Amino acid sequence: MINSKNKGKRGELEVAAFLRKHGFEARRGQQFSGSPDSPDVVHSVDGFHIEVKFTEAFNAYKAMEQAENDCGEDTPIVFYRKKRKRWMVLIDAEAFMGLVGK
């Protein structure tokens, strides 16, 4: 069984690989403290702070609060998946409306 620290690391590496597959620069961040200077994934997706959750017990509000606390001026988003499932992205509804421009 994978411990939660290793599972989290694997999730961060998967998200970085996913972003690279889609043409962005991305790598796992430095995991020393929660702040805009230590995101889960360092990437070239301008304006977004990425929090990664690879867990069976997902609390959307808790994950988004963590992303919001760490995002600085960027828009917080959460990449999430359970084992054997595809990645999903959580974004605040107001932020989403800003993206779609209506």
Q: What are the domain boundaries of the chain?
A: 4-100
Helix (H) or strand (E) holding 16: helix 4-21
Q: What is the pTM of this model?
A: 0.87
Residue 40 DSSP label: S
- At 46-79, the pLDDT tens digits run 999 999 999 999 999 999 999 999 999 999 999 9
Q: Which CATH fold topology does 4-100 show?
A: Trna Endonuclease; Chain: A, domain 1 (3.40.1350)
Residue 91 near residue 19, CB atoms below 8 Å: no
CB atoms within 10 A of CB 11: 21
Interatomic CA distance for residues 95 and 86, integer angstroms: 23
